[in-house]
Structures are given as structure tokens and as C-alpha cells.
Structure 1
């Protein structure tokens, strides 16, 4: 059994803290901190997953008012022991090119596109943690036979828990965090064909 590289050893008995992520240049690109433990996305990304994130990002950017910005591959510092990296997010923070994370207060919407290795975290762990941190809106996007189904949640402020606000297939229309209209079926290209264009 190969010994762990030095960078994988926690710097203290309590494990990792949120600021430690910025001091781990050797860590894989998509490294999250969940309850003080590093979580690596080591499986190859499915084309469906990556394509859908790109198309959702573009669609939300096109519809977002000036006070909102859409980001991907950025972590959110929920607290000292949790810094997850959602697939994409909508923030009210000003653009700063050197930023590596946002606070929960700066995030209006988090979107997780479920993949087999992230399913449990996306559907349960992150659902609870994003709500407890006060993020107002959460979308969990499932693959239903190649088509996206968006499970939408809104924060119930008194309980700091998410309430289901609908499951959208085919199209999505929401008034919050800003007016959003999506043709979900158009986000995924039709199956078949070799893509050679002739």
C-alpha cells in the first residue's frame, strides 16, 4: 500500500478548515471540504453532466439581471469546516478575478447536477448544509433517461430547511431569484448521429 503524500495529511487533529483549501495546490481540481474532510471528484466526468452544466450556465447568464453573476467551479464557505463546490451558482458578489470562494450570504442559488458518485451528497448532505447556511434557492438536477429533471427547493427561513417548490421536466419557469425561463429539453442535444455534420 502506498503511503499518503504529505499534502493529504490534515494540518491539525481536528481535520481541515475552510482556508486550508487555498493552500493545497497539489489537490485535484474539484476538491471540496465536507465536515472537515477533503472530498475529491476522481471519477471521469460524463459528457451529459458537463454539457448540461455549460448550457445551464449560459442560459442563466443570458437571463440574469445586472446585479447577479453566474459562476461555476467555485466553492462556498458555509462555515469553518464546510466549503463545498457546487456545479454552478448565482451570486450577488462583485466580480473579483482572484477570488476562490464565496460566503453563503453572497449566494442566491446553488445548482447541483447529480452524478452517480455525488448523488448521496447532492440529495441529502448538501441539501441540508446549504439550507442551514441560509442559501435561499437550491436546484438538484437529475438525469431521467437522458433528460434533465430539476428538483427546486426554497428556503423556509424560520426552520432553516428547504421546502420542495416543484419538479420541472421539459421546461422551467421560476420568478426567483430572478425571472427564469428554461427549455430543459433544448439543453441536451438529441441522441444519435455521429456529429460529423454530413
Structure 2
């Protein structure tokens, strides 16, 4: 009986073991299938998500490169603008220096002209005074000449008239001598 018991027990154990192995195999198969499906679903989901992220990253990288190119171009434009500004500032400084030099030269010229003008005004004033003096002398000479001629036309002169005549004649001769002295150089050159 013992051996039957062992026989049935071993068959039972074998069946139990076979059932356990079968159940384990079935469970494993289904578990692996289920896990594979889940992994595939996750791979599909996260693969698509990764592809979307990768596409977005590539798009952003393209935008970044485009912005970097625009930034580099803007830097080059800024550098060119700085150079143009420096050149313009230099041109303006040169132009200002030229204008300052011209203004200074103009001020000197105006100052020289002012001095010449003052000298000319002074000479003109002296000339006008000289003309007035000559005119006065000419008028006095003409008056004296008329009076002296009137005395000469008289046949007889009183002592007083003779004295007046001589004074006027002497004045007239002084004016004439002065005129001759002033125009002596013209007589020598033949321009008188």
C-alpha cells in the first residue's frame, strides 16, 4: 500500500508539477505577450513622442541657426555702421577744422580790411580837410587877388591903402610860394 500511495502520490505530484509547469508556461506566455504588447504600445507612444520631440528639436535648432545667422549679420551690419559713423565723424571733424581755418582766415582778412578801411577813412578825412584848406586858401587868394588888382587900378593910394595893399599882396605871395613849394616835384617831373 505504501507503494500505491507513493505511486499515486508521485503521479499526483507529477500532475501537480505538470500543472504548475503548464500554468507557469501559460502564465509566462500570456505575461510575456501582455508585457510585449505594453512595451510595443509604450514604444509606439514614446517613439512617436520622441519623434515629435526630435522634430521639434530639429525645428528649434533650425530656428536657432537662422537666428544666429541673423545675429551675425546684424553684428556685421553694426560693425559696418560703426565704421561708417567713424568715417562720418572724421569727415565732419575735417570739415569743421577746414571751416574753422577758413573762418579764422576770413576774420584775419576782415580785420586787415578793417584796418585798411580805417586807414582809408583817415586818409580820406585828411584829404577832405586838405581840400577844405586848399579851397579856403584859393578863396582867400582869389579875394586877395581881386583886392590887390583893385588897388593897382587906382592911380593914387593913401598911406593906409598902401599899407593894406602891401599886407594883402604879401599874404597873396605867401599863398603862391606855398603852392609852388608843394608842387615843386610835379614841375621837375614835367607833370605840372
Greater helix share, structure number: 2
Greater strand share, structure number: 1
Where relative contact order (Cα < 8 A, 6+ residues apart) is larger, the structure is 1
**Structure whose alpha-carbon radius of gyration is higher:** 2
Question: How high is the TM-score relative to the length of structure 1?
Answer: 0.17
